[in-house]
């Protein structure tokens, strides 16, 4: 007679073990659930990285515009002291006299020594020797309407042909066309020329 309660207790114990095993299975994550979570995390990480790269490009463009303004200030200091603009931008024309402490370097320059800003000295008369104006520019990565609205958008001039502002190159060399549809240097796709004039 004692066997019957013992068997009944064993059966109850076995039922509890089975429910414990099934409840253990339902509390964990399946492989598919884990893969879905990992995929969602990967998608979110790629979105964050893409927006971070866009912010970096905008930061580099802001630095280029600030560099142009700094060079422009140094050129005006040179003009005040000499009565004309320099034929070229270099350490001897701007840094040695103290108009600017160091020539700005493009923020995307990997070597840290590349000067990637375009400069063309201009004059009001064909074959003029004293430079009474200039055309200064930098290639931007983004076509930001706010930034580009302050660009001069001047066309390229030569020694014998005037640009759209009526100015000629005062030394032999090349000028560039500014504006959103052009590039100051080279032919890199996706670059936009931010240019200024006095």
What pLDDT, on the 0 to 100 scale, is given for residue 7? Answer: 47
> Mean pLDDT over residues 9-22, rounded?
53
Please say if the pLDDT value at position 38 is more than 90: yes
Q: How far is CA 129 from CA 86, 116, 170, 184, in A?
A: 11, 25, 5, 24
H or E segment and range at residue 122: strand 118-123
How far from each other are the two terminal CA atoms of the chain, in whole angstroms?
113
The C-alpha atoms of residue 148 and residue 142 are separated, in whole angstroms, by 9
Tell me if 65 sits within 8 A of 147, measured CB to CB.
yes
The C-alpha atoms of residue 88 and residue 136 are separated, in whole angstroms, by 11
Instruction: Band the pLDDT of 43: cuts 50, 70, 90.
Output: very high
Per domain, the residue ranges of the chain are 32-196
Give SS3 for 144. coil
- Between 4-13, 30-39, 40-49, 162-171, the lowest mean confidence (pLDDT) is in 4-13
What pLDDT, on the 0 to 100 scale, is given for residue 189? Answer: 56
- Between 4-18, 42-56, 100-114, 151-165, the lowest mean confidence (pLDDT) is in 4-18
Tell me if 67 sits within 8 A of 117, measured CB to CB.
yes
| pTM of the predicted structure, to 2 decimals | 0.71
Length of the chain: 198
Tell me if 197 sits within 8 A of 154, measured CB to CB.
yes
Partnered with residue 192 across adjacent β-strands are 140
163-175 burial code (b ≥16 CB/10 A, e <16): beeebbbbeeeeb
Tell me if 121 sits within 8 A of 131, measured CB to CB.
yes
Please say if the pLDDT value at position 3 is more than 70: no
Q: Which has more confidence, 154 or 101? A: 101
The C-alpha atoms of residue 175 and residue 134 are separated, in whole angstroms, by 10
Q: How far is CA 162 from CA 20, 79, 128, in A?
A: 90, 22, 12
Segment 87-137, tens digit of pLDDT: 888 888 898 899 999 988 888 876 665 567 888 898 887 766 788 999 998
What pLDDT, on the 0 to 100 scale, is given for residue 188? Answer: 59
Segment 171-181, tens digit of pLDDT: 877 788 776 66
Residue 145, exposed/middle/buried by CB under 10 A (0-12, 13-18, 19+)?
exposed
Mean pLDDT of the chain: 80
Share of the chain above pLDDT 90, in %: 25
The C-alpha atoms of residue 19 and residue 41 are separated, in whole angstroms, by 34
Instruction: Band the pLDDT of 10: cuts 50, 70, 90.
Output: very low
Q: Which two tokens stand for residue 123?
A: 């004059």
Share of the chain above pLDDT 70, in %: 78
Please say if the pLDDT value at position 20 is more than 80: no
């Amino acid at each position: 007679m004692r066997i019957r309660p013992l068997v009944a207790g064993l059966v109850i114990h076995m039922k509890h073990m089975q429910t414990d095993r099934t409840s253990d299975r339902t509390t964990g994550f399946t492989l598919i659930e884990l893969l879905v979570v990992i995929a969602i995390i990967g998608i979110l990480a790629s979105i964050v990285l893409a927006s971070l790269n866009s912010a970096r490009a905008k930061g580099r463009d802001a630095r280029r515009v600030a560099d142009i303004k700094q060079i422009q200030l140094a050129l005006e200091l040179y003009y005040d002291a000499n009565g004309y603009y320099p034929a070229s931008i270099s350490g001897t024309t701007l840094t040695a006299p103290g108009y600017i402490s160091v020539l700005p370097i493009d923020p995307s320059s990997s070597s840290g020594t590349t000067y990637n800003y375009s400069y063309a000295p201009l004059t009001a008369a064909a074959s003029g020797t004293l430079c009474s104006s200039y055309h200064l520019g930098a290639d931007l990565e983004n076509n930001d309407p706010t930034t580009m609205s302050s660009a001069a958008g001047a066309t390229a001039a030569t020694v014998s042909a005037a640009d759209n502002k009526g100015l000629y190159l005062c030394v032999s060399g090349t000028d560039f066309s500014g504006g959103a549809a052009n590039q100051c240097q080279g032919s890199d796709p996706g670059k936009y020329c931010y240019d200024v004039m006095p």
